[in-house]
Every structure is written in C-alpha cells, then in structure tokens.
C-alpha cells in the first residue's frame, strides 16, 4: 500500500513540478559566477581554478551572526545566495500536501484507513524533493565549471580558497568539509520542508511559507546552536568575534532529533485532522 502512495506522490508532487528545480540549477551556476567575479584577481595570481567543492562553499558559506553590541564595527550582509537557495526550496515544496489532502490523496487515505501510511509517504516524498533539489544545485555547479574551464576539478586549493572567501578553512578536515557541504544542508532542508508541511496541514500553505521565511531571516542574523538553519552555514563552524563555533558532530545529532520529532508531530496532527472539513 505504501508503494502506491509513494508512486502517487512522486508523480503528482515531484515529476509534475519538475520545472521548478531549474531554480536550483540556476542558483548553483550563479553562485559560481559570483565567486569567479570576486576572486578573479587571486585566481590569476595563483594560476589556479577552484574545484567543485570550493565553488560549493559559496552556496553554503553563509554569514557570521550579527553582533548586537553598541559601538561594534562588525559589518554584516545577508547571505543572499544561501538565503535564496532555501527560499526556492520552500517554493519547490509548495502547496502540494494541502492539494493532495483535499484531492485524490484524501480518497486514498480514506480507502486505506491508515493515515500513518499517507504521512510516511509524504515524509519520504519530502526527502526525495530535497535530494533532487540539492542535486540540481550541484549540477548547476558542475555545469558552470565544465562550461568555463572545460574540465571538472576536485583538487583542494586551500590558500586560494581562504583568500577568496576570507575564512580560514585549513582547520576544517576533508570529512567535515564534505559533511558541511553535502549532509548538513540536506538535513536542514528536510527539517525546513517537514515544518512547512506540518504548518500547511494544520493551518494553511501561507502560514507554512511565512514561518519558513521568518526562520531564514532570524537565522541569517542570529547565531545559536538551537537554530537548525545555522548548521547549513559553514562560516558558523568557525569562532568569530568571540561567538561560539558550532560543532559538526552535535549538528548531526541535533538535526536528526529535529527530523524524527517533526515526523512524529506531523503524524499526530494528521491523525487528528478533519480531512472532510472545509479548507
């Protein structure tokens, strides 16, 4: 039964809206262009080109928290590349779960008499949406590198990277770097999408989008180990202006707890939801 639910979600909630994922490809490519524009001098000086991973840093570099201290000289800019990446993810998740709950999905839910299967299928769909979305962002990065240089490099150029990004990445090991680039951003995206789905079911799609937008704004300015989105910013893993740096290991555990908790809370809400009520 769950296979039928999942196939339905993939067809109606992912394949049907596949065109939306072009946004992720464009963001990945544009982020690479921004890096090249900012670091052209250093690339010419060192005679090196950035690797795929080093281009990807611009997607998930983020920004150090704003220091709310009188007389502080800390300059702050909203990390627009990071912000737009997660904002467009919100658009890709969209209003599908509400449409399905009041459409054919409601028929399948009533027929099966198992709302747990319906919700589990939606959570699995949510994970697939995030996997495809971030894969598309990396495809945009790969496409840019191949179009610009005619090759795709995976070599590290730490000195060049530090000069361009202005952050000391030397202390971050290769395994932690991959976790920061591939795993943590994906987990944060899943959390964001699950929360959006829950709020859409309980209230409306507008409520879900507004809350997600506010989370992105707050996470851009404030630094806290309790804000999930902070773990998708590599800069937050380095101490800056006396702020505590985030931990990769704690982040993996903390985000896993978030995902499990949202999965359970979502099921409780769906189980009590009056699907025959008015929208």
- Looking at the domain assignment, is residue 279 inside a domain? no
Backbone angles phi, psi at 250, to 5 degrees: -65, -40
Q: How many domains does the chain have?
A: 1
The CA distance from 60 to 71, in Å, is: 29
* Residue given tokens 């009056």 in the structure block: 274
The answer to whether the beta carbons of residues 201 and 193 sit under 8 Å apart is no
- Looking at the domain assignment, is residue 16 inside a domain? yes
pLDDT-derived band at 48 (thresholds 50, 70, 90) equals low
pLDDT of residue 167: 59
pLDDT of residue 56: 80
* Residue given tokens 């070599």 in the structure block: 155
- Looking at the domain assignment, is residue 113 inside a domain? yes
- Looking at the domain assignment, is residue 278 inside a domain? no
* Residue given tokens 């804000």 in the structure block: 227
Q: What is the reported pTM? A: 0.88
pLDDT in tens, 191-243: 999 999 999 999 999 999 999 999 999 999 988 899 999 999 988 887 655 45
The CA distance from 69 to 64, in Å, is: 14
Mention every residue, 6+ apart, whose C-beta is less than 8 A from residue 147: none
DSSP state, 23? Answer: H
- The yes-or-no verdict on residue 144 having pLDDT over 50 is yes
Q: Which residue has the higher pLDDT, 31 or 136?
A: 136
Which tokens in the block code for residue 278?
């008015």
| Greatest CA separation for the chain | 66
The mean pLDDT of 131-158, rounded to a whole number, is 83
- Looking at the domain assignment, is residue 277 inside a domain? no
Q: Mind spelling out the 3-state secondary structure of 111-165?
A: HHCCHHHHHHHHHHHHHHHHHHHHHHHHHHHHHHHHHHHCCCCCCCCHHHHHHHH
The overall average pLDDT reported for the chain is 83
Domain boundaries, position 228 = 2-272
């Amino acid at each position: 039964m769950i296979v039928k639910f999942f196939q339905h979600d993939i067809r109606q909630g992912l394949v049907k809206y596949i065109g939306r994922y072009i946004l992720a490809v464009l963001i990945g490519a544009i982020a690479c262009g921004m890096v090249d524009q900012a670091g052209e001098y250093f690339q010419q000086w060192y005679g090196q080109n950035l690797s795929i991973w080093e281009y990807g840093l611009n997607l998930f570099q983020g920004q150090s928290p704003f220091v709310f201290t009188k007389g502080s000289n800390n300059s702050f800019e909203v990390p627009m590349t990071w912000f737009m990446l997660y904002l467009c993810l919100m658009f890709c998740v969209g209003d599908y779960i509400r449409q399905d709950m009041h459409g054919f999905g409601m028929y399948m839910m009533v027929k099966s008499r198992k709302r747990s299967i319906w919700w589990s299928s939606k959570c699995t769909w949510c994970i697939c949406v995030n996997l495809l979305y971030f894969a598309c962002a990396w495809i945009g990065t790969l496409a840019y590198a191949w179009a610009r240089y005619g090759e795709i490099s995976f070599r590290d150029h730490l000195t060049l990277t530090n000069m361009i990004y202005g952050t000391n990445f030397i202390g971050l090991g290769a395994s932690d770097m991959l976790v920061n680039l591939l795993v943590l951003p994906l987990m944060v995206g899943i959390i964001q999408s699950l929360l959006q789905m829950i709020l859409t079911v309980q209230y409306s799609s507008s409520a879900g989008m507004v809350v997600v937008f506010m989370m992105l704004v707050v996470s851009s300015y404030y630094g806290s180990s309790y804000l999930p989105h902070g773990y998708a910013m590599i800069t937050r893993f380095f101490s800056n202006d006396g702020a505590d740096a985030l931990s990769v290991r704690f982040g993996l555990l903390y985000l896993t707890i978030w995902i499990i908790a949202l999965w359970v809370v979502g099921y409780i809400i769906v189980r009590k939801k009056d699907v025959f009520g008015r929208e």
